[in-house]
Structure 1
Amino acid sequence: MPSVVGILGHLAQQHGHNIKTALLQLFKDSIESDPDSMQIMTVPYLLHLASMSPLLLRVISTEFLTALTPHNLNMLCQQSTYWHSKNKQDINSLLNLLVHLLMKCEDQTFEIIMFLLNSSQQAHISLFLLGDGCQVNPLVQRACTIILSKVLLDLERQILSKHDNEKEIVLLSSLKPHVERLCLKLVESTDTRCKRWLIQILACVGWYNGLACVNHILAFLLLNISTESQLGVFIQLQREIEIRLPAVLLNIMSTLSLLTGKGTTSSADVYKLLRNLTTIVKWENESKTPLTRCQFKECIIKNMATFASFFSDGDLETGIQCLHLLNMIDLPGNLETVTLVTLARSCVATLFSICSTAGDTDEGYKNKQRNTDTLCAYVTKLSESTTAYRYIQRTLLTQLLTKENVPLFGHKQDQASFSSSSKSTPTSLFEELQKTQRESTVAHHHGGIIGQGKRVHTQDDSFTQDDQATNRLCALRVLWATCCRRTDNESAGGASQVIGEHLHHLSNLMVELVTPDACYNEIPWPDEDLMKVTLERDLYIKKQFDTKPILWDIMELISFDHLAIAKSSPLLRGLVAVQVNYWVSCRDKNTTDSPQSEQYLRESNRLLEFMAKGNLLPQPLCFIAEFFRHVSPFKVFLLLTNVWAFIKENPDNLTSETPTLLPGCATNFMALIQNLMHADIDKLGHYYPLFFQKT
C-alpha cells in the first residue's frame, strides 16, 4: 500500500489530471450493477489511499463529490449492506476513516458539508430523482446523518481539548472563508435539525478561529435576518458560542460598522440591522432572566460612539428606527463630547428630514406626528446632558434662521429675490426715459435692477400651508423637548417637568441670533426716548420676526418661564418700540381699518400675551389688549408707552428668578386706563369690572 501511494503521489505531481481521471473512472467502474468482490472493495481501498496521501485526498475531495449522483448513491448503499454483513467492525472503521478524512479536507469543504446536510434531510432526498423516477434510498439519509454527527462530535472534542501548541484543525480553517455562505444557509433553512447542525458548525468555526471570526458571523447574521423566528435562531447561536467565548459581543459594534461601511450595504440593510437590534433589546428588557450572558443593550451603551455612526449616516427611515432603539437604552453618563455632538446633530437632521416629507394627507400627518413623538422622546433623554441640549438648541435655531429652510416653515421670502424669468427679458433704460408723460402725471418708480426690469417676488409652493403649519409644530415640539424632564411615573409620550435653566439658554440664544449685534442687549428697559437711537436695530428685529414667523411661536415657549422671558427683553423691547412708532404715526381712524393695521394689532396683542404669561405685567394692566380693537391708533400708542414705563420702573422684576410684582404695584399706571375708559364709555364701559373690580 505505501508503495502504491508513493507512485501515485509522484505521478500526480506531473500528471495530476490523468491521475484524477483514472481514479474517478475506477470509482465509477466499482459501482456497476453487478460488481464482483474486488470492485465492491474499491471504495474502501480508495479511502485508505486518501488517508495516506494528502495529494490523493485533495483529488478525491474535489472530483468525487460531483460523481455522487442519486444512482451512484444507491449503488454505494447496496455495497454498504455487503460491507456490513461481512464484518460489522469494518463498517464502523470505515465510518471513522471517512470522518478522519473529512477533518483533513482543505478543498471543497463547504460543498461537502452542504452535501451532507442536504442528503440528511428527507425533503432533499425526495428531490434526488433519476430520469426514470428512481428515488435515493432512505439509508443514504441515515448514513449522512451518522457521518455529520460524528464530524461535529469530533470537532467539539478537538476544540475543547486543543492547546496552543497542537496541530491545526484543517476542516475549520478551510471553512472560515465560507462563514457568510453558512450564515445564509442558516437563515434560509426551514428544517429544525439542519438549523441545529449549522449552529454547531458555525460555533465550532467561531471557537477555533477566534473572537474576530465570531463577531463577523454574528454581525453578518444581524444584517441578513428578516424575521423574529430567525432572530430566535441567532440567540441560540449566541448561547452556543458563549459556552467557550463569554465576551462574544466585545467588538460586535466595530464589526457592524465595518460591514456597513464597505459600500456594499444599502440603507435597507442598515434599517434591517437596526430593526433586529431593536427586537433583541426589547426581548432583553422584557425577559425576567437574561437571554444570553452578553446583552446587546450593554454592548450598545459601551460602544455608543460607534453606534452613533448608524444614526448620523442613514436616511429618515433608518434614523427613526435608530431612535426607537436608543429610546430603549439608558443614556450613559460618561459619553464623550464628540459622541454627544454626533447624536445631537443627528437629532436636528432627523427633524428636518421629517419636515421634508409630505404631510398633506391624514396618513402623512400621522406619520409625521409619530416620528416627531419618537424624536422628542429621545431629545428629552439626550437633554439630560448640558452639552447635548445646548447644541440642539443652537443648531436648530441657526437652521431655522437660514434661507435654505424658508419653504419648510412658511417663512416670507426676502423681497430682494428675483425670478429667473425676469433676467431673460431685459428692459432698456434709454427707452424708458424716452417715454413722455403729461406734467400732471405722477412719476412711478419701481424697484428692480437696471437691464432686468421690475423685480418679481418668488414663492416656493412645494409645501402647502398645512405642511408648513405641521412643520412649525414639529420644530416647536423638539425645542420644547430640550427644555423638559420626564418623570419616572409618566408615560413614554409625556415630558411635563420644565427645566428653567434650559429655557433661559434658549432665551439667550434667541437674543444672540436674532439681534444684529450685542449693543443695547441689556435686560432693564431704558427711557422711551432711546427708541429714536435704536430705530434701525428695532426694525431689523421686526423684519426677522416678519420673515420668520416661527420666532413668534418660540417666544411663546419662552414666556412659560418668568426669568426666560425677562432675558429676552431686548427682543420684546425692540418689537414694542416698532409697535409704538407705528401706532403714533398711523392715520387710520380705527385699528382695524387697513390690513397692515390689523397685522400690527395682532402683534401688539401677542406681545402683551407674552408679558402677561411671563409675569412681566400684573393684573389688571395685562388686560389692556382688550381695548386695542375699540380705540384709535393713538390711544394704542398711549397704552403701549404706559406698559413701557411700568416695566422700566420695575427693573427688579426682570432680574429675579420669581416674579416680584406686589398687589397694587400698577395703581399709578391705571389713571390712563381710567381716562380712556371714560372717553369711550360706550365702547369700553363693559370692561370696567375687569380693571376696577373692588376686592
Structure 2
Amino acid sequence: MISHTGIIKSAPQQDLINEIQVFIRGASNLDKCNPLELSKTALTLLKLLPASRVAVFDYFCKVFDNAASNYIKGIESEIKTGTLPQQCETDEVVISEIHLVLAQLILENATAWAPIISTWSLELLGEISTKYAGRAHISSKLNETLQLWMGCRATRTLVDINTKCLSSLIHSDTEACISALLDTSVKHSPHFDWVVAHVGSCFPNTVITRVLSCGLKDFSQNKSYEQGCNSAKLKSVVGILGHLAGSHTEDIRKAILEIFVRSLRETMDDTDATRIQKKATTPFILQLAYLSSTLLSSICDDTKHTLTINTITRLYFFIDDWCRYFGNPETLEEFIVTLILRCESGGAQILTLLLDCVLVTKIRGNDAMKNAIREKAKDILEIILLEIDESVRHNSPVNLLKSFKKETKELNVLLLNENKLIYETSAQILIFLANLNPSVLINSATHLLLNATNNEQLTLLLKMLCHELVDINCHKSGHFSVVLEQILSRNIQKFSTSNEENSDLTKMWENLLTLLRWEKTNKYPILSSKLVSRAIQSNLTNLTNLFASEILHMHIIADILDTIEIPTTKMTYNPPLQVILNLSQSTVNYFYACAKEQGTSLKVQGFAKVCRILKRLCTYSKVAKVFVLRELLERALFRSDNNLFGGKSNGLHHDCEKVLLKQNKKINKIIPLTKHSSVFNGGIIGNGKRKSISQDNLPLDDISHNIYQLINVLKACCSAQANEENKFNDLSLDSMTLLSLLLVQFVSPDVMYNGLPWPDEEFSKVTIERDLFIRKMFTNAPLLWNLLGFVAVSRPALCYCSVLIRALTATLIHQWKSMGEQSKANNTDNYRNLMETTVKLIELMALGQLLPPPLSNIGDVLQFLKCFEIVAILKECVWSYMRDHIPSPALFVCDTNGTYWRDPTIVRPPETYTNALRIIMQRNIKTLGPMYAQMFINVPKHD
C-alpha cells in the first residue's frame, strides 16, 4: 500500500486493522483507556495510514485540550490555595510522544506534512486560547498572556510544532501556513494574538512579507468597497502587523514599500490577477494605514522617499481603478484627508509633497494631467488647513499637529521660501501650533527675525505675532518681546568678546530697524499697538549692553536707539536707571568709535545720531548728563582718545620712567631744598635730556572735524529743556555751568585757590607750580581752548573757569618777562607760540565778556608791542581789572531772548585800568593810530 506521502507500508494488513480497532475503542471511551498507549496507537496510524489523520488529529485535539485544562486548573488552584499543585506526568509523557512523532514527520516530508500540521496546530491553539480566555486571571496584556501560555506544555508544544512547519518551508512556500495563521487570527482574535506575536517574532521578515501578500491577494478579490474595508482577513493582517510593529517597524515599512514599488512596475510576465493586485496595492496600503495608527506612522515616516512628483504622476492613471475600492472619487479624497489628519509623524514631508503638487510644473505629461494634480492637491491642502483650524478652535487638535510639533525646524525653513503659498501655509500651521504651545511661535518668530531678507517675510512675521489664534494681548509687550530677549540675552556675552560671531545678527538688526521704521510711519494698522517699540523698550537693558560692546553693528544699533526716541519727557515709558547708564556709556563709546573711523557718510551720520540720542538723554536725566559730560571730557583730555583731538600724552610717569628726586635720594639721602621744594626735571644724568612728549600724527583736518563734532555733542548734552522759551539760545545755563566746573575739576590739580576772585599779581609766586601744571595741560591738550571757547558762549558759565584763566594769565606774564626783544626780532617759534597763546586768552576773555572794551580789544594790539609793554598791559590792565572786578555770573543779565550779556556802554572800565594801555598805544601811535581812535576816541556814549 502506497500512501499519498509516498511511503510504502510494509506492516501486515491484519496488524493495521487491529490498531484501527484499538484506536476506535479507546477514542470512544477515553476514561477507561491508557492515554499513553492510545496515543502511541494514534501515532502509528498517522504514520502508516495517512487517511486516518482527521480522526487522529481530532483525538490529539482532545489530548492537548485536556492538558491545557489541567494546566489552567492548576493555576487557579495555586491562586486560591497559594500552593503549587502536582503536574500530571501522563500529560507530559503523551504530549512529548506526540511532539516527537510530528516533528519527525515534518522533517521527513515537510512539503506534504508541514501545511497540514501547521493548519491543525494553529486552529487548535486558537480554540484553546478562546476556550480558556478569562480563566486563571489571564491578562488582556499580550506579553503576560504569552508568558502564561508558554508555561503550558501543551500550548508550547503546539507553538513549537508550528514553528518547525514554517522553518521547513522558509525557502520554498509558506503561503499555506501564513494563510492558516491569518484565518485563525480572524476567527479567534484577540485571544489568538499571543500566537501571532510569537510566530512573528521568530520569522519577522517571512511573516510580514507573507501576511502582506496574502492580505493583498484577498483584498484584490473583493467585489465592492464594503467588502474590502470590512474584510475580516484585512483586519487580521492589521492585527498581526500591529503586534509586530513594536519591534519590527522598519521591517514592516520596508515590506510595505516593496509591494508599493512593485505595484508601479509593469512586466511582460504579469497575469491578469497580478495586474489586479498591483492596482489594488495602493488602496490596500491606505486601508491598512486607516485601520492601524502604528502602520500609518511607519508608512508616513519616509514619505519624501516613497512619494515624489514623478510617482504621483504614475499613480494618476490608477485613480479610476481605485474607485472600485472606495466607491467614488469623493470618498477617496475624504479617505486620504482623514489619513493625513491622523498622521503623527512625517507631517512636514506630506505638506511638502502637497505643496509640490500644487506648484507642479516640471513633470512629464499633458497640461490636463498637471492641472488635475494641481487642483486636487490644492483642494486637499485647503481642506486639511480648515480641519486643523476647526480642531484648534474647538480645543481638540488633530494628530497631524503632533507631527508638525516635532518638525518645527522644517516648517521654519519653509517660512523663508520665496513662494507665497509655501511660506503662508507654513506660517498658518505654526500659528495653529502656537495656539497650543506659545514657545513654537517664539522659535519661529526668532527664526524669521534672524533670517528674513525681504519685506514680505517681515510682514509675515507681524501677521504671525498678531494672529487672532495667537494667545497674546497686543497691548502688552507680548511674544515679540520674548523673541528679542532670547536673541539678545543668548548673544550678549559671546558677542562682546568675539566680533567674528557678530555677523549672524546682521539681518536681525536690519529687520528690527525696518519694523521700527514701519511703526513710526503710522501707515501699518497691524503696528498700531506699538508692538515693536514696546518689545524694544522691554529689552533696552540687553540692547544697550550690546551697543556698548558692538563694533560691526554699532551704526545700525544706534539707528534703532535713535529711531525709538528714548528717553523723552513726554513719553509714558520711564527707562530704569540701568538703561540710562548703559545708554550713556554706550553712546559715548559710539561717539569715539565714529571719531576713529575714516571719513565716510556713516561717520557723519553717526555723529548726528550721537547728538540726538544724548540730547534726549541729558534732557531727561541729570545723572546721565553728569556721567556723559564727565566721560566725554575725561576721554578727550586724558585717555588714549585724546590724540583724536590733537592731544599729546597726559604727561604721567610711565612705570619704567625714573623720577629725578628719587634718583638724587639714592646718591644722597639728605638733599637741601629751598622753601618751595618744586623739582623741574629737565633730564636724568647718564640718560640725557628728558624726551619730549610724543604726539600722534593725525591730519589737522581730521582733528578739526573731530573737535567740531565733540563741541556739537557737548552742545547737545547741554541743551535746554523743550519748555524753556529761548528764541536764540538753546543751551541750558545750568548745564554749561556743570561743564565749566568739570573742566576746573579735571584741569586744576587741587581745590585750593579755585575761587572766582583774582588775588594780587604777586600772589602768583605762591601758585606758580599749579599755574605751570595748568598751562602744561593746555599745551598737551589744545582741545581745552575749544572747550573754554564753547563755555564762553554761555558767558556766566565762563566765570567758573576763573582759576584756569588766571593761571594762564600768570604764566604768560612770567614768560613775557623772560622773553627778550631779540626773540621778537627773529620771530622765533617761542615768540610766535607765546603771542598766539596770549591773543587766544584775551579773545576768550572778550568772548565771555570778562573784559569790557577797550580791554577786550587788546588782542589786536599785542603783536605791535614790545615784550615789556605786553607785560605792563597784562599786569596793569588785565590783571588789575580782573582783581578788582570779580568775574561773577551775577554781572550778567538775561534778556527776553534768553541771552546773557553785559552792556559794554555801561561797564566801560575806569581810566585806572586803561591808562597803561592808552600810554603804550600813544607811544606807538604811528602803527596803532586807527585802533587807538576806535578804542579811546570813537566810543559810543550811553544815554
Q: Tell me the TM-score normalized by structure 2.
A: 0.64
Matched, 1:373 2:608: yes
Look up the match of 1:397.
633
Alignment of 1:196-235 (within 5 A): 196-210=424-438, 212-235=439-462
CA deviations 1:477-503 (Å, max 9, x no partner) are 22222112586999xxx9961111111
Instruction: Tell me the CA shift for residue 471 of structure 1.
Output: 2.3
Rounded Cα–Cα distance in structure 2 between residues aligned with 1:78 and 1:485: 81
Matched, 1:666 2:909: yes
CA deviations 1:195-217 (Å, max 9, x no partner) are 3322312222222211x332332
Is contact 1:503-1:561 (8 Å) kept? yes
Instruction: Tell me the CA shift for residue 190 of structure 1.
Output: 2.6
Moved more, 145-154 or 32-41: 32-41
Is contact 1:203-1:241 (8 Å) kept? no
Is contact 2:341-2:400 (8 Å) kept? yes
Instruction: Tell me the CA shift for residue 292 of structure 1.
Output: 3.3
Instruction: Tell me the CA shift for residue 660 of structure 1.
Output: 5.9
Q: 1:464 aligns with which of 699, 703, 718?
A: 699
CA deviations 1:558-588 (Å, max 9, x no partner) are 1111221011111111111111111122222
Rounded Cα–Cα distance in structure 2 between residues aligned with 1:260 and 1:118: 37
Rounded Cα–Cα distance in structure 2 between residues aligned with 1:620 and 1:108: 93
Instruction: Tell me the CA shift for residue 590 of structure 1.
Output: 6.9
Look up the match of 1:175.
404
Structure-2 change in CA distance of 1:69 and 1:228 (3 Å): closer
Matched, 1:544 2:780: no
Instruction: Tell me the CA shift for residue 320 of structure 1.
Output: 1.8
Rounded Cα–Cα distance in structure 2 between residues aligned with 1:495 and 1:243: 53
Q: 1:184 aligns with which of 413, 419, 424?
A: 413
**How many residues in Structure 1 have an aligned counterpart in Structure 2?**
651
Q: 2:562 aligns with which of 327, 330, 336?
A: 327
Is contact 1:70-1:136 (8 Å) kept? no
CA deviations 1:261-313 (Å, max 9, x no partner) are 48599433433222222222222222346333542123323443233234223
Rounded Cα–Cα distance in structure 2 between residues aligned with 1:330 and 1:17: 60
Is contact 1:591-1:601 (8 Å) kept? no
Question: Which sections of structure 1, spanning at least 5 residues, go unmatched?
Answer: 423-445
* Structure 2 counterpart SS, 1:387: helix
Rounded Cα–Cα distance in structure 1 between residues aligned with 2:731 and 2:639: 31
Look up the match of 1:116.
354
Moved more, 141-150 or 553-562: 141-150
* Structure 1 counterpart SS, 2:526: coil
Q: 1:409 aligns with which of 645, 648, 662?
A: 645
Look up the match of 1:615.
849
Rounded Cα–Cα distance in structure 1 between residues aligned with 2:434 and 2:735: 50
Moved more, 464-473 or 566-575: 464-473
Moved more, 145-154 or 297-306: 297-306
Instruction: Tell me the CA shift for residue 683 of structure 1.
Output: 1.9
Structure-2 change in CA distance of 1:298 and 1:145 (3 Å): same
Matched, 1:484 2:719: yes
Instruction: Tell me the CA shift for residue 596 of structure 1.
Output: 1.2
Structure-2 change in CA distance of 1:263 and 1:416 (3 Å): closer
Structure-2 change in CA distance of 1:621 and 1:551 (3 Å): same
Is contact 2:540-2:579 (8 Å) kept? yes
Instruction: Tell me the CA shift for residue 630 of structure 1.
Output: 0.5
Is contact 1:541-1:575 (8 Å) kept? yes
Alignment of 1:70-469 (within 5 A): 70-84=309-323, 86=324, 90-122=328-360, 125-126=361-362, 128=363, 137-162=370-395, 169-176=398-405, 178-187=407-416, 189-210=417-438, 212-240=439-467, 244-247=471-474, 248-261=479-492, 263=494, 266-288=501-523, 290-292=525-527, 294-295=529-530, 296-315=532-551, 318-332=553-567, 334-359=574-599, 364=600, 366-384=601-619, 385-413=621-649, 459=694, 461=696, 463-469=698-704
Instruction: Tell me the CA shift for residue 452 of structure 1.
Output: 6.1
Structure-2 change in CA distance of 1:351 and 1:518 (3 Å): same
Is contact 2:481-2:539 (8 Å) kept? no
Moved more, 334-343 or 533-542: 334-343
Look up the match of 2:817.
584
* Structure 1 counterpart SS, 2:793: coil
Rounded Cα–Cα distance in structure 2 between residues aligned with 1:199 and 1:496: 55
Rounded Cα–Cα distance in structure 1 between residues aligned with 2:469 and 2:757: 66
- The one-letter amino acid paired with 1:44 is P
Look up the match of 1:558.
791
- The one-letter amino acid paired with 1:380 is K
Instruction: Tell me the CA shift for residue 134 of structure 1.
Output: 13
Is contact 2:509-2:556 (8 Å) kept? yes
CA deviations 1:151-177 (Å, max 9, x no partner) are 211111111121xxx5x6543344345
Matched, 1:605 2:839: yes
Rounded Cα–Cα distance in structure 2 between residues aligned with 1:262 and 1:226: 26
CA deviations 1:93-133 (Å, max 9, x no partner) are 333333333334343333332222223213xx41x569xx9
Look up the match of 1:61.
300
- The one-letter amino acid paired with 1:77 is Y
Q: Tell me the TM-score normalized by structure 1.
A: 0.85
Rounded Cα–Cα distance in structure 2 between residues aligned with 1:667 and 1:180: 87
* Structure 2 counterpart SS, 1:147: helix
Moved more, 403-412 or 214-223: 403-412
* Structure 2 counterpart SS, 1:9: helix
Question: Which sections of structure 2, spanning at least 5 residues, go unmatched?
Answer: 1-233, 658-680, 894-900
Rounded Cα–Cα distance in structure 2 between residues aligned with 1:554 and 1:502: 14
- Name the larger-Rg structure: 2
* Structure 2 counterpart SS, 1:559: helix
Rounded Cα–Cα distance in structure 2 between residues aligned with 1:586 and 1:82: 117
Rounded Cα–Cα distance in structure 2 between residues aligned with 1:460 and 1:96: 84
Rounded Cα–Cα distance in structure 2 between residues aligned with 1:213 and 1:415: 60
Structure-2 change in CA distance of 1:618 and 1:198 (3 Å): same
Look up the match of 1:501.
734
- The one-letter amino acid paired with 1:232 is T
Structure-2 change in CA distance of 1:351 and 1:358 (3 Å): same
Is contact 1:410-1:468 (8 Å) kept? yes
Alignment of 1:681-692 (within 5 A): 681-692=925-936
Rounded Cα–Cα distance in structure 2 between residues aligned with 1:50 and 1:145: 23
Rounded Cα–Cα distance in structure 1 between residues aligned with 2:326 and 2:241: 30
Look up the match of 1:439.
none
Instruction: Tell me the CA shift for residue 89 of structure 1.
Output: 6.0
Instruction: Tell me the CA shift for residue 43 of structure 1.
Output: 2.0
Moved more, 383-392 or 33-42: 33-42
Is contact 2:518-2:524 (8 Å) kept? no
Rounded Cα–Cα distance in structure 1 between residues aligned with 2:723 and 2:752: 44
Q: What is the aligned-residue RMSD (CA, Å)?
A: 3.4
Rounded Cα–Cα distance in structure 1 between residues aligned with 2:684 and 2:613: 49
Structure-2 change in CA distance of 1:545 and 1:369 (3 Å): same
Rounded Cα–Cα distance in structure 2 between residues aligned with 1:242 and 1:271: 31
